[in-house]
């Protein structure tokens, strides 16, 4: 491990806005019986000191979106979640230097997310340029498996925002929403080339990957939907709903490069 990463990891320990749990504690009773972290249900009280709505960015990388959304809307609390400590260092350092009261970061695997948030504790989720996981459906952050995890802590009427350069992931998520009768609030397959949506944050905030793919001429898609539904979520059942092979071929090999 390089000295740069070691320095960042050491500095991460000093950031009050960054929570870094030990996964061994969460897994004490096994993967399917995660142990709740002490912050679960107490983010407003212990971390932010208020009861404002909480918004998550899952897979936040360096935290560009988390920071910018928080600056735009001081009336909400924003939490960026990622497993990479060297990436989180940048966002946590900026939040600390700027003394942003409504920003926090959580270093953990997203599949452990239910250990950190209580029912009704979160209002909205952002998924920004997530790995489309073309070969592993249950690893996709908009799969029925993950939607059920999110539902366990989202408020009634909770919203998912998916911003991605992957048409594969966009179409898959649209198929999941259709299969489960989820209300789609906004949808575009060309965010910058189509009709402009009345959400400035979609255009004025850009992640590292977004800038990279825009420079290469790829289209950026956006999908906003509610996940209110009783009972288990269902998977797209046949190619008429979502033809994974066809969309995988259409996507091409750039996915591997873009999401390493």
Residues annotated as catalytic are 131
Q: How far apart are alpha carbons 38 and 1 in whole angstroms? A: 31
Which region holds residue 242: left if phi is over 0, alpha if psi is between -120 and 50, else beta? beta
Q: How far apart are alpha carbons 174 and 70 in whole angstroms? A: 27
Q: How far apart are alpha carbons 147 and 47 in whole angstroms? A: 25
Write out the H or E segment, with its range, that includes residue 105. Answer: strand 103-107
Q: DSSP letters along 122-184, please?
A: EEEEEEES----TT-GGGSTTSHHHHHHHHTTEEEEEEEEEEES-HHHHHHHHHHHHHTTPPE
CA-angle at 46, arms to 41 and 52, nearest 5°: 70
Q: Are 107 and 82 in contact (CB under 8 A)?
A: yes
Q: How far apart are alpha carbons 34 and 108 in whole angstroms? A: 13
Ranges of H-type helices in the chain: 3-12, 23-26, 64-72, 85-97, 144-151, 167-179, 200-204, 208-215, 244-251, 254-258
Q: How far apart are alpha carbons 154 and 242 in whole angstroms? A: 26
């Amino acid at each position: 491990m390089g000295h740069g990463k070691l320095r960042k990891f050491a500095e991460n320990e000093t950031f009050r806005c960054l929570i870094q749990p030990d996964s061994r504690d969460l897994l004490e009773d096994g993967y399917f019986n995660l142990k709740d972290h002490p912050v679960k249900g107490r983010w407003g009280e212990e971390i932010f000191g208020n009861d404002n709505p909480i918004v998550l960015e899952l897979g936040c990388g360096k935290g560009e979106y988390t920071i910018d959304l928080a600056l735009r809307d001081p009336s909400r609390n924003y939490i960026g979640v990622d497993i990479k400590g060297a990436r989180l260092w940048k966002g946590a350092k900026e939040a600390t230097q700027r003394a942003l009261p409504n920003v926090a970061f959580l270093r953990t695997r997203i599949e452990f997310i239910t250990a950190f948030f209580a029912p009704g504790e979160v209002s909205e989720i952002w998924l920004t340029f997530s790995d489309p996981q073309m070969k592993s459906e249950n690893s996709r952050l908009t799969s029925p498996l993950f939607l059920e995890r999110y539902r366990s802590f989202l408020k009634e009427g909770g919203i998912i925002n998916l911003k991605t350069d992957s048409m594969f992931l966009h179409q898959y998520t649209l198929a999941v929403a259709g299969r489960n009768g989820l209300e789609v609030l906004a949808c575009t397959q060309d965010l910058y080339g189509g009709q402009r949506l009345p959400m400035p944050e979609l255009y004025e905030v850009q992640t590292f990957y977004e800038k990279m793919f825009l420079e290469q001429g790829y289209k950026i898609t956006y999908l906003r939907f509610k996940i209110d539904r009783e009972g288990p979520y269902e998977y797209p059942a046949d190619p008429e709903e979502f033809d994974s092979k066809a969309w995988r071929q259409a996507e091409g090999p750039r996915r591997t490069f873009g999401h390493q």
